[in-house]
């Protein structure tokens, strides 16, 4: 299977170039940096040790920032390359990466592009996050004997079943990692069953991620404007969840005339469909990208279709249902930790299989409120709005929960120590003409 994949990918270059151009027309690629997706670096490699960290999406990129800072504190002379694969994650990195770190787009998995990337950057250590398994890149990393770790690793039941159909392939890919740090015992069990060698459970790195950005000026401006209103946020929504929010709003508006429902879709490009659906229900909708002003007194729905502002609305609303837990695509859930870090009470639906352990731990510790359907979600919202003491209790529980989990980053750094030694990061870099390194650094 791996040989077939590699053979097909070698002749797929024209097809993927055309695919990139189509994505560019839909604003899903960065025109100025498109060559990076083909392995062509836009920045020179700095001299000295280089640690490469890869995060596929916005959520993974957010959580990897804390690891970058800990690594910099430990290896001050090292350089850091961060790769991500989406425009939104790139925009996040541009805003939040320290000036001493380099961001590049991850190349598509074509052998010539992969090798161009590795030839240029020549990383001393590679750290990937969660569940990114690109065969050509992994194979090339293995052939170059680059020490490699997969951190915050997770695998869904569906992915496990699919990979089980190709046992030799997945065993070879997992075997390239010198170390895998899994989020849960279930993840570790499935990964071991697929042939991985050194698998250690460390819990989720997301617990240690920095809080989402909150613009203090905007927070103060909105707090004043919304002082007389009660509201809630449906965060990172997918298809079907906006309609649920509309119906809940209409049901509750008679009881709470000053109710405001804030919706932050996971994919802002769904804006027109959401606006149309709200207008069909005769709801007054304010679109933030069209006007940055706070909602008017008669605004029913405030649509946050901008990037990088979810933290602001978590903090403003104080109550949030986390999206893709009720969605029509089967769900999976999104990261609830970001909301709790900002003192926001969280609710969620039944379909949270992508964060099973996180939600289970939160529910058991009284940090979040599980809801099986629309009626339970509405009932829970009404209870919170009528009994503020419940909000305070949930906020206190959330703060204690996050504090208890804050040591996970130290555990991850401790487990990675053998890999640091293997990569020679504790030693001075080799001089250009040097052929040997001291014995303790080998």
Quickly state the pLDDT bin for 434 (edges 50, 70, 90): very low
Place of tokens 């809801």: 371
pLDDT of 130 reads 82
**Contact partners, residue 272, CB within 8 Å, separation at least 6:** none
The answer regarding whether domain 216-404 maps to CATH 3.40.50.2000 reads yes
pLDDT of 433 reads 43
Residues 64/85, Cβ–Cβ less than 8 Å: no
pLDDT of 158 reads 86
> Running DSSP on this structure, what letter comes out for residue 33?
G
Q: What tokens does 39 get?
A: 């392995």
Could you tell me whether strands 199-201 and 319-322 are parallel, antiparallel, or unpaired per DSSP bridges? Answer: unpaired
pLDDT of 438 reads 39
Q: What tokens does 415 get?
A: 């487990």
pLDDT of 61 reads 84
Residues 62/337, Cβ–Cβ less than 8 Å: no
More confident residue, 434 or 294: 294
Residue-averaged pLDDT of the chain: 93
- Tell me the C-alpha distance between 93 and 95, whole Å: 5
| 108 CB-contact burial (10 Å; exposed 0-12 / middle 13-18 / buried 19+) | buried
Quickly state the pLDDT bin for 427 (edges 50, 70, 90): low
Q: What tokens does 46 get?
A: 């700095």
Determine which of 118-132, 141-155, 199-213, 417-431 has the lowest per-residue pLDDT on average: 417-431
Q: 143 — phi, psi (to 5°)?
A: -65, -25
- Maximal CA-CA distance, the chain: 78
Quickly state the pLDDT bin for 439 (edges 50, 70, 90): very low
| Interval 309-348: pLDDT, tens | 999 999 999 999 999 999 999 899 999 999 999 999 999 9
pLDDT of 431 reads 47
| Structural domain spans, the chain | 2-210+408-441, 216-404
| Interval 136-158: pLDDT, tens | 999 999 999 999 999 999 998 88
| Interval 39-88: pLDDT, tens | 999 999 999 999 999 998 777 888 899 999 999 999 999 999 999 998 88
Strand partners, 262: 233, 302
Quickly state the pLDDT bin for 305 (edges 50, 70, 90): very high
What is the percent of the chain with per-residue pLDDT over 70, rounded to a whole number?
Answer: 96
Residues 366/340, Cβ–Cβ less than 8 Å: no
| Interval 243-302: pLDDT, tens | 999 999 999 999 999 999 999 999 999 999 999 999 999 999 999 999 999 999 999 999
pLDDT of 264 reads 98
What is the percent of the chain with per-residue pLDDT over 90, rounded to a whole number?
Answer: 84
**Contact partners, residue 420, CB within 8 Å, separation at least 6:** 74, 75, 125, 426
Q: Look at the domain 2-210+408-441 and name its fold.
A: Rossmann fold (3.40.50)
Quickly state the pLDDT bin for 429 (edges 50, 70, 90): low
Strand partners, 345: 319
Q: Are domains 2-210+408-441 and 216-404 of this chain identical in fold?
A: yes
> CA of 436: how far to CAs of 88, 144, 194, 423, in Å?
43, 18, 38, 15
């Amino acid at each position: 299977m791996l040989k077939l994949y590699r053979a097909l990918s070698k002749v797929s270059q024209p097809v993927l170039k055309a695919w990139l151009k189509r994505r560019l027309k839909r604003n899903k690629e960065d025109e100025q940096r498109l060559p990076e997706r083909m392995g062509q670096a836009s920045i020179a490699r700095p001299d000295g040790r280089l640690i490469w960290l890869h995060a596929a999406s916005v959520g993974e990129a957010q959580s990897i920032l804390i690891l970058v800072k800990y690594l910099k504190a430990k290896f001050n002379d090292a350089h850091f390359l961060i790769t991500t694969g989406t425009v939104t994650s790139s925009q996040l990195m541009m805003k939040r990466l320290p000036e001493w770190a380099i961001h590049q787009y991850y190349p598509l998995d074509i052998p010539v592009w992969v090798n161009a990337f590795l030839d240029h950057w020549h990383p001393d250590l590679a750290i990937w996050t969660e569940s990114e398994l690109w065969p050509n890149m992994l194979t090339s990393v293995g052939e170059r004997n680059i020490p490699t770790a997969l951190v915050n690793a997770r695998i869904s039941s569906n992915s496990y079943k699919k990979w089980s159909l190709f046992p030799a392939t997945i065993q070879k890919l997992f075997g390239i990692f010198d170390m895998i740090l899994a989020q849960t015992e279930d993840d570790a069990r499935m990964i071991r069953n697929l042939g991985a060698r050194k698998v250690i459970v460390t819990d989720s790195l997301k617990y240690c991620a920095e809080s989402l950005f909150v613009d203090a000026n905007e927070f103060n401006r909105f707090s004043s404007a919304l002082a007389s209103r009660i509201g809630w946020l449906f965060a990172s929504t997918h298809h079907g969840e906006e309609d649920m929010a509309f119906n809940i709003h209409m049901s509750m508006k008679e009881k709470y005339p000053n109710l405001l429902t804030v919706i932050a879709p996971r994919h802002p490009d769904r804006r027109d469909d959401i606006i149309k659906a709200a207008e069909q229900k005769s709801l007054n909708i304010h679109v933030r990208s069209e006007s940055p002003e706070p909602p008017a007194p008669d605004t029913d729905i405030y649509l946050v279709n901008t990037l990088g502002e979810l933290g602001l609305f978590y903090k403003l609303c104080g109550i949030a249902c986390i999206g893709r837990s009720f969605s029509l695509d089967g769900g999976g859930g999104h990261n609830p930790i970001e909301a709790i870090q900002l003192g926001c009470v969280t609710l969620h639906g039944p379909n949270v299989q992508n964060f099973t352990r996180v939600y289970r731990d939160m529910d058991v510790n009284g940090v979040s409120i599980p809801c099986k359907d629309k009626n339970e979600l509405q009932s829970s919202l009404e209870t919170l709005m009528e009994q503020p003491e419940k909000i305070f209790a949930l906020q206190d529980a959330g703060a204690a929960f996050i504090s208890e989990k804050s040591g996970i980053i130290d555990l991850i750094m401790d487990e990675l120590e053998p890999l640091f030694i293997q990569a020679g990061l504790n030693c001075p870099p080799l001089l250009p003409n040097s052929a040997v390194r001291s014995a303790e650094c080998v």
